[in-house]
Amino acid sequence: MAQSTRAFNWLVIGICAALLLPGLVREGMFMDGMLYTVVAHNQANGFGTFWAPRFSQVGVAGMAIFHEHPPLAFGLQAWWFRVLGDGFWVERLYCLATALITMFVMVRLWRECLHEHLSLRPLGGWPLLLWIIVPQVFWCFHNNMLENTMAVFVTAAVLQVVLGMSAAWAKRAIIAGGFVFLASFTKGVPGLFPLAAPVLLWSASRNVHSFRRALLISLVMGTVVAASYLLLWQWPDARGNLEPYVHGRLLHRIDAQHTVEHRWRILADLLASQVGPLVLAAVVFLLGRRARTERPPDTLKATAIGMFLIGLSGVAPMMLTLVQKSFYSVPAFPMIATGLGLLSAHGLCHLLDRLGERQVLTQLVRYTGITAFGVALVLSVLLFAKPARDADLLADVATIGASVPAGSLVDLHPDLWNEWNLQGYLMRYHAISVDDRGNSHAWSIGRKKALPPPGYVDSGVLLRELALYRADAASRGMK
């Protein structure tokens, strides 16, 4: 089976490359991801600090400091800008790095879940395939979402829990608690769900001898997280960052800014996102049963159920709020993919055994994967720096940046204030902040074909979607 397994792994590599690389090399980004990359880029260039990150001169939601999320991911990405420079590809390379690290940790998790089933351990590409084909997963990597960084930490925490359930539990619990702290320091409360992982794994196995250990691991993990935040709270700079986040963002968000009509929506989105992996795993599982191969042992099924429960624990708490989006569940998907993979692993093992008997098919699978990888690389070169979205807006921003000095604060028509990609692109590429409060500035941005605001005249700069105005002679003394 070794040869067919290598061929299958090449296929997985090709699919991962095809789904990740061409989308990563293109310009244009979802609003949230652009906000995050601007904050990190600003920090790298001295506008804002780790504890006082800044989006623009005016800020977001009435706050000059960016308190939408805890600061860890911005600080990590800021280091990439400091080392690699200002190229549009820097944040995308960071996203690729988080994808590769998550894959590495998932393979380790897979192997540790199979320490009693050595013949299945080489199939680490199987959970990766079930994970990467979920649209929300590669979409998050394309758009610099915080879920990318958080997924690294929560998956690493679960890996440490699995290791700690069998040996060196105290050491593993402390490390796992550290990873949970880092996950929550990336996106707040959603990063805490691995705290329940030890008890959930025990509940699936019902091994009475492991209950005490599971409970102790959870308690130690929780203590590490609580102690970390308690220590940070004693630091004025850290408290100045976290306190506004907790009171102004976290607690307020539970009852405000609803994005869905009912609390069950997140579970419906979860089911919809897993249709592809469920169908694929079911087909492989059924083919294995049809061939009368060995059914998954009870221990393997118990571990799979435990992984499902851990994944669900990362999704279900979001029902407490009506602020839900399908990609919020992405950090839980590595565990769900691992669970699906464990249940269907024997079926895949049988298929690969059969594949190994057919040299031509084995070569076909291998070269299909290699070809997919090569095509992904070629497409990435051809699509490099070309817009994936907002092509006209990006062109307008480039033109505005050629006319308006970097670091400027410009007037913005109030109707455009919620066009966050406009604000994001202006800040990311030209350090231009906008102000919709009616203050006078040297420049103003409005919609195309709209009349100039009072005190401004047409600049003569040709744009596609927008209009750029400059202060008239009576306003030249203004900044």
Q: What confidence score (pLDDT) does residue 474 get?
A: 58
Lowest mean pLDDT among 136-145, 197-206, 245-254, 356-365: 245-254
On the question of pLDDT at 309 being above 90, the answer is yes
Give long-range contacts, CB 8 A cutoff, 24+ apart: 470-475. Answer: 470/442, 470/443, 470/444, 471/440, 471/441, 471/442, 471/443, 471/444, 475/440, 475/442
pLDDT tens sequence across 61-101: 888 999 999 999 999 999 999 999 999 999 999 999 999 99
Q: What confidence score (pLDDT) does residue 322 get?
A: 79
On the question of pLDDT at 463 being above 60, the answer is yes
On the question of pLDDT at 54 being above 90, the answer is yes
CA–CA dist 20, 30 (Å, integer):
16
Q: What confidence score (pLDDT) does residue 298 get?
A: 74
Residues 129 and 9 sit within 8 Å (Cβ to Cβ)? no
pLDDT tens sequence across 339-365: 999 999 999 998 998 888 888 999 999
On the question of pLDDT at 417 being above 60, the answer is yes
Confidence grade of residue 156 (pLDDT, cut at 50, 70, 90): very high
Q: What confidence score (pLDDT) does residue 292 get?
A: 54
Task: Identify which of 301, 366, 332 has the alpha carbon closest to the alpha carbon of residue 134.
Answer: 332
Percentage of the chain beyond pLDDT 90 is 78
Q: What tokens does 218 get?
A: 């959870």
On the question of pLDDT at 328 being above 70, the answer is yes
Q: What tokens does 339 get?
A: 């669970």
On the question of pLDDT at 208 being above 70, the answer is no
Lowest mean pLDDT among 180-189, 353-362, 380-389, 395-404: 353-362
Residue-wise burial string across 215-235, b where 16 or more C-beta atoms lie within 10 A, e elsewhere? eebbebbbebbeebeeebeee
* Per-residue DSSP letter, 30: -
Lowest mean pLDDT among 8-17, 197-206, 383-392: 197-206
On the question of pLDDT at 475 being above 70, the answer is no
Q: What confidence score (pLDDT) does residue 293 get?
A: 53
Mean pLDDT of the residues in the chain: 92
Q: What confidence score (pLDDT) does residue 295 get?
A: 63
The model's pTM: 0.94
* Mean pLDDT (whole number) for 384-392: 96
**CA-to-CA separations, 419 to 30, 371, 393, 396, in angstroms, rounded:** 11, 40, 10, 14
* Mean pLDDT (whole number) for 239-267: 80
Task: Identify which of 340, 299, 113 has the alpha carbon closest to the alpha carbon of residue 206.
Answer: 299
Q: What confidence score (pLDDT) does residue 479 get?
A: 44
* Mean pLDDT (whole number) for 168-177: 95
Residues 211 and 257 sit within 8 Å (Cβ to Cβ)? no
Confidence grade of residue 103 (pLDDT, cut at 50, 70, 90): very high
Q: What confidence score (pLDDT) does residue 261 get?
A: 76
Instruction: Name the region of 292 (left: φ>0; alpha: ψ -120 to 50; beta: rest).
Output: left
Percentage of the chain beyond pLDDT 70 is 95
Confidence grade of residue 290 (pLDDT, cut at 50, 70, 90): low
On the question of pLDDT at 146 being above 90, the answer is yes
What are residue 48's DSSP bridge partners? 53
Lowest mean pLDDT among 93-97, 253-257, 326-330: 253-257
* Mean pLDDT (whole number) for 356-384: 95
